[in-house]
Structure 1
Amino acid sequence: MAEHGVISEKPAAPAREQWSGQVGFIFAAIGSAVGLGNIWRFPGVAYENGGGAFLIPYLVALLSAGIPILLLDYAIGHRFRGSAPLAFRRAAGKAGERIGWFQVMICVFIAIYYTAVIAWAASFFVFSFDLRWGEDPAGFFVGDYLQVAEAPITFDFVPGVLIPLVVFWALALAILASGVAKGLEKCNVVFIPLLVLAFLALVVGALLLPGSLDGLNALFTPDLAALANPSVWIAAYGQVFFSLSIAFGIMVTYSSYRRRRSNLSGPGLVVAFGNSSFELLAGIGVFATLGYFAHQQNIAIADIEGLTGVGLAFMTFPAVVSAMPMSQLFGMLFFGCLVLAGLTSLLSILEVVVSAVMDKFELSRAQVVWGLGGALAIVSILLFSTTSGLTALDTIDNWANNVGIVASAVLVCVVVLWVRRRGRELSSHISLISTFRVGPVWRFLVTVLSPIVITIMLVQVVIALVTDGYGGYPAWYLLVFGWGSVAVMVVVAFVLTGVPWRRDPDDFGAWPDHAGNVRETTRGGRR
Structure 2
Amino acid sequence: MSTAADDVREANRGMFSSRRVFILAAIGSAVGLGNIWRFPYVAYENGGGAFMLPYLVALFTAGIPFLFLEYALGHKYRGSAPLSFARLSRGTEGLGWWQVGVCFMIAVYYAVVIAWALSYAFFSFGRTWGDDPDAYFFGDYLQAGDPGVSLDFVPGIILPLLAVWGALIVVMALGVQKGVGRTSVIFIPVLLLAFVALVIQALTLTGASAGLDALFAPNWSALGDPAVWAAAYGQIFFSLSIGFGIMITYSSYVKRRTDMTGSAMVVGLSNSGFEILAGIGVFAALGFMAQASGVAVGEVATSGIGLAFVAFPAIVNEAPAGALLGFLFFFSLVLAGFTSLVSVLEVVISAVRDKFETSRLRATLVVTIPCAIISLVGFSTTSGIYVLDIVDHFINRFGILLVAVVSMLVVAWVVRGLPQLRDHLNRDGSVPVRGWWIVLMSVITPVVLGYVLITELLAVLDETYGDYPGWMVLVFGWLAALLVLVAGFLLARIPWRPDTPVHGQEREEA
Q: Tell me how far apart the structure 1 counterparts of residues 401 and 442 of structure 2 sit (CA, whole Å).
A: 15
What is the 5 A alignment of 1:419-430?
A: 419-430=414-425
Decide whether the 8 Å contact of 2:87 with 2:506 is kept in 1. no
1:48-59 correspondence to structure 2 within 5 Å: 48-59=45-56
Q: Which residue of 2 aligns with 1:461?
A: 456
Matches within 5 A, 1:15-414: 15=11, 16-94=13-91, 96-304=92-300, 307-414=302-409
Aligned partner of residue 471 in structure 1, secondary structure: helix
What is the deviation of 1:196? 0.5
- Deviation track 1:390-425 (CA, whole Å, cap 9, x = no partner) reads 001000000111111111111111111111001110
Is 1:264–1:430's contact at 8 Å kept on the other side of the alignment? yes
- Aligned equivalents of 1:108, 1:505: Cα separation in 2: 25
Does structure 2 conserve the Cα–Cα contact (< 8 Å) formed by 1:92 and 1:416? no
Shift of 1:151: 4.2
For structure 2, the residue ranges without an aligned partner over 5 or more in a row are: none
Moved more, 33-42 or 439-448: 439-448
CA contact (8 A) 1:76 1:88 kept: yes
Q: Deviations over 1:105-137 (max 9, x none)?
A: 000010000000000000001101100001100
Tell me how far apart the structure 2 counterparts of residues 334 and 415 of structure 1 sit (CA, whole Å): 41
- Give 1:368's aligned amino acid: A
CA RMSD across the alignment: 1.4
8 Å contact from structure 1 (residues 92, 415) kept in 2: no
Structure 1 letter corresponding to 2:319: M
Gaps of 5+ in 1: 1-8, 513-517, 519-527
Q: Which residue of 1 aligns with 2:427?
A: 432
The CA deviation at 1:240 is 0.2
Shift, 1:14, TM fit: 5.8
Residue equivalent to 1:481: 476
What is the deviation of 1:371?
2.3
* Partner Cα distance (2:112, 2:157) in 1: 8
TM-aligned CA deviation for residue 11 of structure 1: 12
Partner SS for 2:508: strand
Superposed, which structure 2 residues align to 1:488-507 within 5 Å?
A: 488-503=483-498, 504-506=500-502
Could you tell me the TM-score, scaled by structure 1's length?
Answer: 0.94
Cα distance per residue 1:78-109 (max 9 Å; x no partner):
01110000001111222x11110000000001
Q: Within 2, Cα distance between the matches of 1:11 and 1:444?
A: 35
In 1, the alpha carbon distance for the partners of 2:93 and 2:501 equals: 10
CA distance in 1, matches of 2:206, 2:408: 49
User: Aligned partners of 1:473 and 1:284: how far apart in 2?
Assistant: 34
Residue 13 of structure 1 and its aligned partner are, at CA, apart by 4.2
Amino acid at match of 1:328: A
With the length of structure 2 as denominator, give the TM-score of the two structures: 0.97
What CA distance in whole angstroms lies between the structure 2 residues aligned with 1:338 and 1:269? 24
Q: CA deviation at 1:436?
A: 2.3
Alpha-carbon deviation of 1:10?
12
Contact 2:289 2:300 in 1 (8 A): no
* 1:147/1:441 CA distance change after superposition, 3 Å: same
In structure 2, the partner of 1:522 is: none
Cα-to-partner distance string for 1:410-464 (whole Å, 9 max, x where unaligned): 1111111111001110111000111121010111111110011111111111111
Runs of 4+ in 1 over 3 A off after TM superposition: 9-16, 507-510
Counterparts of 1:252 and 1:471, CA distance in 2 = 33
Could you say which residue in structure 2 is the equivalent of 1:4?
Answer: none
Equivalent residues of 2:147, 2:469 under 8 A apart:
no
Structure with a larger share of its residues in helix = 2
- TM-superposed deviation, 1:12: 7.1
**Residue type at the aligned position of 2:86:** R
- Equivalent residue for 2:439, pick from 417, 440, 444: 444
| Range with bigger deviation, 435-444 or 387-396 | 435-444
**In structure 1, distance between residues paired with 2:404 and 2:96:** 11
Give SS of 2:118's match: helix
Contact 2:120/2:330 (8 A) holds in 1:
yes
Letter in 2 for 1:378: I
Identity %: 50
